[in-house]
Amino acid sequence: MTLTTQILSQMPGTPLDELRRVDALWQSLREGTQPVPTVVQERRDAIDLAWDVVICGGTLGILLGAALAQRGWRVALLERGVLRGRDQEWNISRQELQVFVELALLSEAELAQTIATSFNPSRIAFRGSPPVQVRDVLNIGVDPVVLLETLKQKFLTHGGQLFENTPVDGAIVHANGVTVTAGQHTLKTRLMLDAMGHFSPIVQQARQGKKPDAVCLVVGTCAEGFSHNTSGDLIATITPIQKQCQYFWEAFPARDGRTTYLFTYLDAHPDRPSLETLFDDYFRLLPDYQQVSLEQLQFKRALFGFFPCYRQSPLKPRWDYILPIGDSSGSQSPLSFGGFGAMIRHLSRLTSGIHAALESDTLKRDALSRLHPYQPNLSVTWLFQRSMSVGINQTINPNQINELLAIVFQAMETLGDPVIKPFLQDVVQFSALFQTLAQTTLTQPTIALKIVPQVGLPTLIDWLFHYIALAAYAALYPLARSLEPWMKTLPPVPRYYCDRWREALKYGSGRDYGKDEG
């Protein structure tokens, strides 16, 4: 019996069965045997519309559902199961949560109630190198149960209609809207938001069975019994490359114990390990990582998942009147599995953008695609993803990734909080990246020579293109901002496009981070 079988079968619920179910999905993705569903069809007729927005999927869908219902739109939300947050906290930074108050979705008191944990500092530590400490980054644990319940009540108060235990099974795109079908329910809407996650059947149809360009595998637990549980690790390594993977660790104090994750970046090659294999390694290495024996721990729950990432992200809408949001939209960087954080970062922009699209009736595919614009600061992170992973047949120095990351993070520490903090929150800015590259090259002039064979020249050239685009976006954003008073005088449709252009420059250059008000 493996450690995984032994420990997971003693936990409440049926985590082992669930792990094997997710593993079967991961295997079919690696082997390219996933069927491509046909859930969306097209017809040219017009329909009588009863809804402004129908949201499919309630986890992150309720965030936009509450915001749009509050603005007076007729919103329905269809959820396959019961709309309830998961037991495990979402980690995020405090200032990011303020958007709920700014959008008047939560009062300060309600926001405080959603915060289950708060800790400091957090460590970044790579095998064989001195650690770096940061404060106030991803150090807040949000309770998804409380957050989703509070937002659900707001949604209902503002006239939103919730359909639970109602799996969406089809959508017909017409000349003026969409008919959404879910069992015996048929809802005719001006706009459909697909919030059904990474494995949304609509996304699978839109991507036509394409294999992801990269995957992040994550396994972990929440457990009691650790002797030290007041600070966290944002990223740590304790081993060299093994099984063609660099293993990374994360640890956070949780409300009912300590959460520890093992994660790794790879491609979807058929020979890549299963989540169950990764879990075996997690249990084997956890004692060394946290200086604890497994017998000391009382495991509360198992946590696991895999996150497919596509270079073509965010996903552009494939049909009129259908917009992916949340994980289905692929809005987070390939380095992050913080899809909640990515949604929070874009919540204000998406709320005002969807509101403007509904007001100006610009709901066709091209107009909606402006809500998921090209973002060079997301695209540059592909190089980092590649430099933190190893090809299935590649031979590199087993300590190369550890050494590279130690050098880069020490350079960022030298440059200070304005450089390191946005990066750790998934926001890449041109000046911070430029300074980091300069500082790293100063301390290690040969670093590029080591990376090129690992990531390959095409990846590097592709990265250069996005790096230049990042510089251009950063340079153009002040111009777009200065034009804002003029944009406000435009009629609704051109204004919709101009505002989306300005936001693309702002978010694509990381200027949404911090106090920028533009």
User: Residue 228 CB, nearest distance to ligand FAD (Å)?
Assistant: 20
User: Residue 60 CB, nearest distance to ligand FAD (Å)?
Assistant: 3
CA-based nearest residue to 469, from 333, 376, 370: 376
DSSP per-residue string spanning 273-291: PPHHHHHHHHHHHHHHHHT
CA-based nearest residue to 439, from 410, 418, 401: 410
User: Residue 195 CB, nearest distance to ligand FAD (Å)?
Assistant: 5
Label the pairing between strands 185-194 and 178-182.
Answer: antiparallel
Euclidean distance between CA atoms 305 and 91, whole angstroms:
16
Tell me the residue number closest to ligand FAD, measured at CB: 339
- Write out the residues near ligand FAD by the rule CB under 6 A: 56-61, 78-81, 90-92, 167-168, 195-197, 218, 303-305, 326-328, 337-341
User: Between residues 39 and 480, which has the closer beta carbon with respect to ligand FAD?
Assistant: 39
User: Between residues 304 and 384, which has the closer beta carbon with respect to ligand FAD?
Assistant: 304
User: Residue 53 CB, nearest distance to ligand FAD (Å)?
Assistant: 15
Euclidean distance between CA atoms 18 and 28, whole angstroms:
16
User: Between residues 68 and 474, which has the closer beta carbon with respect to ligand FAD?
Assistant: 68
User: Between residues 301 and 386, which has the closer beta carbon with respect to ligand FAD?
Assistant: 301
- Collect all residues with Cβ–Cβ distance below 8 Å to 48 and sequence separation of at least 6: 188
DSSP classification of residue 507: H
Under 8 Å between Cβ of 195 and 59: yes
DSSP per-residue string spanning 69-100: HHTT--EEEE-SS-----SSPEEE-HHHHTHH
User: Between residues 251 and 419, which has the closer beta carbon with respect to ligand FAD?
Assistant: 251
User: Residue 163 CB, nearest distance to ligand FAD (Å)?
Assistant: 9
Euclidean distance between CA atoms 63 and 186, whole angstroms:
23
User: Between residues 144 and 177, which has the closer beta carbon with respect to ligand FAD?
Assistant: 144
User: Between residues 162 and 218, which has the closer beta carbon with respect to ligand FAD?
Assistant: 218
- Collect all residues with Cβ–Cβ distance below 8 Å to 267 and sequence separation of at least 6: 213, 214, 215, 389, 391, 392
User: Residue 233 CB, nearest distance to ligand FAD (Å)?
Assistant: 13
User: Residue 352 CB, nearest distance to ligand FAD (Å)?
Assistant: 20
User: Between residues 119 and 473, which has the closer beta carbon with respect to ligand FAD?
Assistant: 119
Cis peptide bond upstream of 131, omega within 30: no
User: Residue 303 CB, nearest distance to ligand FAD (Å)?
Assistant: 4
User: Between residues 294 and 303, which has the closer beta carbon with respect to ligand FAD?
Assistant: 303
DSSP per-residue string spanning 202-252: HHHHHHTTPPPSEEEEEEEEEEE--S--S-EEEEE--S--BTTB--EEEEE
User: Residue 464 CB, nearest distance to ligand FAD (Å)?
Assistant: 30
CA-based nearest residue to 93, from 344, 357, 396, 451: 344
Does the CA dihedral 232-507-338-354 come out positive or negative? positive
